[in-house]
Structure 1
Amino acid sequence: MSVRQTALQLSAVYFDDGHFTKDLTLAVAIPSESQERQGYKCLQVYLDDCIIPLLSKMGFTCKLFENSVSDAGPFLLAERIENLNMPTILTYGHGDVVLGQHEHWKPGLSPFDLHEEGDRLYGRGTADNKGQHLINLQALASVMEVQGKLGFNFKVLFETGEEIGSPGLKEFCDQHRQALSADVFIASDGPRISPHSPTIFTGSRGGINFDLVVNLRDGAHHSGNFGGLLADPAIILSHAIASITDSRGQLQIPEWRPTSLTQDIRDVLAVLPPIDAGFELDSDWGESSLTMAERVFGWNSFAVLAMKSGHPEAPVNAISGYARATCQLRYVVGTEANDIISALRQHLDNHGLQSVDIIQAEENPFPATRLDIQNPWIAFIAASLERTCGHRADLLPNLGGSLPNVCFADVLGLPTIWIPHSYPGCCQHAPNEHLLKSTARQALLCMTGLFVDISVSGQQIITGSKYSAL
């Protein structure tokens, strides 16, 4: 049996014998919530108890770093350098999770107790991101056990604040450029298009959050005595929001409409299967001239995340003096990020809505990134995944969501390849988060095969020489 077949068999046994579920149970049990201060101590515990032992067993040297941002979680940098002339891969994972939201999970489930039900493994972090980086590291372990080596160099960067905007990550990458130098970046986060087939994406949409605020006066006033005499901030705010898109969500601000949906990107998106979200999508929402894939992977989208005026939980007959909406623009490469807020200001002013203030969120937004789809690493990885699972991988120019990919693509200057192991219906960031066992098993085998293939042919990619088809 070949090295590849032996490594694949080893990974299959690891999964089928329940070791993957056991290891994921231990990872999920650590409530590493970065959005709450009481969860901060668990960020370090996760690295100490789950990640460092696994990497150390494979001969990695591990070093922890404090975050340059005060009150932000630590970083872990680990490496196994076998030969400086071999290809070097950098990977990434985040050990933090969003809030557990205990009270909203369905009966019998708890966010930090792994629960197996049919094809689903429920628990906070199963899909985002503990289950995904566990798959990659265990695939690496299988290759190590079979070969006694990797056949390439491997560097691992873990952060513990991705769910709060990755504070300090960009600065860390900038400060440690040499230590993080590599030939390619390969990591896993986000969803596949379909749970049944591998997906590759090479970047992500950017995301910028801001509040629209109408603050006209202190306190509320009787709606009977003052109706028709006092401007209503909720109505003004509603007109502001309505001016940004039309009734089906099509963007009305010219600067927010990207220029990068070129024919080569359309061709890539045209062959994608329908997005398998596990629930019905609205085909009549968004840009009418675009396909559904083009709307989420090749275009910008505006959303109102929350809004409030008065006291919705106990309304009274009064005109509020204040209204607020938290909004977001997800944007692709081809949108001038620095012009997003100024274009919105000009748009609102042109509509006579000078009383609407714009307050940009304090956290730094993730810029949009995208790798040239002709990069040779894409074809190599796609061929490897297809060889393992027997069918073509779906290729996206970028993820619809946002990731700190700019740190790796722009700061470190690496070709970035993401291979997600979840699916759109995983309830990421919501109650009942779960990972599909069938998807996880296929992903484990795919990553195992990929690492073997890199050990055999990775050198040819970085030298630009011809390599044999996988």
Structure 2
Amino acid sequence: MLPRPDQKSDLRCREAAVASAALYIKEARFKADLERLVACRTETSRRGDAAQKQIYLSDIIAPELAELGFETRIYDNPDPGSGPLAIYKRIENPKLPTVLLYGHGDVVPGQEGEWDADRSPWKLEEADGRLYGRGTADNKGQHWINIAALRQVLATRGRLGFNCKILLEMEEESGSPGLEAFCRTHKDELAADLLIASDGPRIRTDRPTVALGSRGNFNFDLEIRYRNGGRHSGNWGGSIKDPVIRLAHAISTITDDHGRILIQAWRPQPPTERIRGLLKDCPILQSDGVSRMDADWGETNLEPAERVLAWNNFAVLAIKAGSPERPVNAIAPMAWARCQLRFLAGLDPETILPALRSHLDAHGFEDVVLSPARSTWWRGTTTDPDNQWVQKTMRSLERTEAKTPDLIPCIGGSLPNHAFQGIVGMPTVWVPHSYSDCSQHAPNEHVRIDLCLSAIRVMTGLFWDIGREGEGEG
């Protein structure tokens, strides 16, 4: 058995690893690596272009991880037509803790021609302290920072001090079809003591964020169809049902005029005092210190951060009837809306549409047809904030940055966290490396170089601290 290094020696080595990680960003080596990742066009909507998704996992990521002692296995997706998944493993000692890292290599469509300064989404470009390109923030840049942090620990200490598994998928932007089935089949292979992953934005840019889960996401359609074609509004108006008016009134029963959910089955339990304490003074929806939240919208008895991170909310994403581009004088034959419910852990997504059906029927809207927008959805999840791995993560990040991280019960968006927490079965910790104005899912997606610098420092420190407990294992 090897002796444990003394505390001063360990501190010096930790500082050296963190400093080396910072140089990786400052010397533009990160930029060069990220350029290769961005150039691989892994658009999730291009389901026929499976070759690029395979190349990303096998030709770009696998060789880098092989240098770090990881074995690679690439699998077909259980969902026919969806992109592959890969598991990379480095097992140092079965007695050591095991950490599972997760990321996704697929990206949303590039939206060529819509970027400022005629930028190409597939060519990394640096400007004003930012790196522009599709996938820089979501999610190639984020999981690559974590891989680079592993490299810094290995280069300094010679080993991680823990076992590490990495799961990369290529369909997260399509709702991760096949991921839950994959995790069920490969549950033993993915088993770990903790999931650490990075996606989404920090709460504020000057300190790390630790998120313990994510809200669930269920998209569904409302439709009313009365006839096959339009009817002249002068000849028929006032004598036949207008589906647009009917649909608007049906939607209006779901919330009040300030967005407060009126379907009791959709309303969560009020946040506990523990959660309220975590979110106290949390600067959600701020940019440069300026709040963007409407004070009179949603659950007005909740604090701003609680409305986003400790409550459910309903949104109408799109609505259509008639010919919006060229309106004509006709009563539309049908009306359609795409809606969404973001929800906390505890709400079973299987109950969402039945509860809405009962609600609409009770208000006389039996003519509204309901249907899920896709076959998969993400469940709400969270980890106990007092979990030992959460507290270790908080202490490590504070040790590196000398600032207390923001600890939140979940991110406001949605991630496939249930696959790891609910199926494989492990606590989950998310440490995002982006910020709210990164333009993910839009033209001009980018990462800030200063945030990448902070991110690789804290992740190198975190992996170092997790591995330090394994220093005594021979």
If the length of structure 1 is used for normalisation, what is the TM-score? 0.95
Q: 2:186 aligns with which of 166, 173, 176?
A: 176
Is the contact made by 2:25 and 2:449 (CA closer than 8 Å) also made in structure 1?
A: no
How far did 1:106 drift? 2.0
Once residues 119 and 241 of structure 1 are traced to their aligned partners in structure 2, the CA distance between those partners, rounded to angstroms, is 44
Q: How does 1:16-95 map to 2 (within 5 A)?
A: 16-95=26-105
Aligned residue type for 2:455: A
Q: Which residue of 2 aligns with 1:299?
A: 311
The one-character-per-residue Cα deviations of 1:341-398 (angstroms, maximum 9, x if unpaired) are: 1111111111111111111123211011111111011111011101111111000101
How far did 1:220 drift? 0.5
Matched, 1:98 2:108: yes
Once residues 458 and 351 of structure 1 are traced to their aligned partners in structure 2, the CA distance between those partners, rounded to angstroms, is 61
Is the contact made by 1:165 and 1:363 (CA closer than 8 Å) also made in structure 2?
A: no
The RMSD of aligned alpha carbons is 1.5
Is the contact made by 1:112 and 1:123 (CA closer than 8 Å) also made in structure 2?
A: yes
Is the contact made by 1:75 and 1:158 (CA closer than 8 Å) also made in structure 2?
A: yes
Q: How does 1:423-438 map to 2 (within 5 A)?
A: 423-438=435-450
The one-character-per-residue Cα deviations of 1:424-469 (angstroms, maximum 9, x if unpaired) are: 1111111111111111110000000111111113699xxxxxxxxx
Structure 2: unaligned runs, 5 residues or longer: 1-8
Q: How does 1:244-259 map to 2 (within 5 A)?
A: 244-259=254-269
Q: Which residue of 2 aligns with 1:200?
A: 210
Once residues 287 and 267 of structure 2 are traced to their aligned partners in structure 1, the CA distance between those partners, rounded to angstroms, is 26
Once residues 110 and 425 of structure 2 are traced to their aligned partners in structure 1, the CA distance between those partners, rounded to angstroms, is 35
Q: Which residue of 2 aligns with 1:223?
A: 233
Is the contact made by 2:161 and 2:470 (CA closer than 8 Å) also made in structure 1?
A: no
Q: Secondary structure at the match of 1:228?
A: coil
Q: Which residue of 2 aligns with 1:114?
A: 124
Distance of aligned partners of 1:59 and 1:268 in 2 relative to their CA distance in 1, 3 Å threshold: same
How far did 1:49 drift? 2.9
Q: Which residue of 2 aligns with 1:463?
A: none
More moved, 280-289 vs 413-422: 280-289
Distance of aligned partners of 1:109 and 1:15 in 2 relative to their CA distance in 1, 3 Å threshold: same
Identity %: 47
Is the contact made by 1:276 and 1:425 (CA closer than 8 Å) also made in structure 2?
A: no
How far did 1:168 drift? 1.0
Is the contact made by 1:260 and 1:334 (CA closer than 8 Å) also made in structure 2?
A: no
Once residues 331 and 169 of structure 1 are traced to their aligned partners in structure 2, the CA distance between those partners, rounded to angstroms, is 20
Once residues 92 and 310 of structure 2 are traced to their aligned partners in structure 1, the CA distance between those partners, rounded to angstroms, is 40
Q: Which residue of 2 aligns with 1:209?
A: 219
Q: How does 1:121-270 map to 2 (within 5 A)?
A: 121-259=131-269, 261-270=271-280
Q: Secondary structure at the match of 2:341?
A: strand
If the length of structure 2 is used for normalisation, what is the TM-score? 0.94
Q: 1:11 aligns with which of 21, 43, 49?
A: 21
Aligned residue type for 1:390: A
Distance of aligned partners of 1:375 and 1:442 in 2 relative to their CA distance in 1, 3 Å threshold: same
Q: 1:446 aligns with which of 429, 436, 458?
A: 458
How far did 1:274 drift? 4.0
Once residues 173 and 298 of structure 1 are traced to their aligned partners in structure 2, the CA distance between those partners, rounded to angstroms, is 27
Once residues 202 and 240 of structure 2 are traced to their aligned partners in structure 1, the CA distance between those partners, rounded to angstroms, is 50
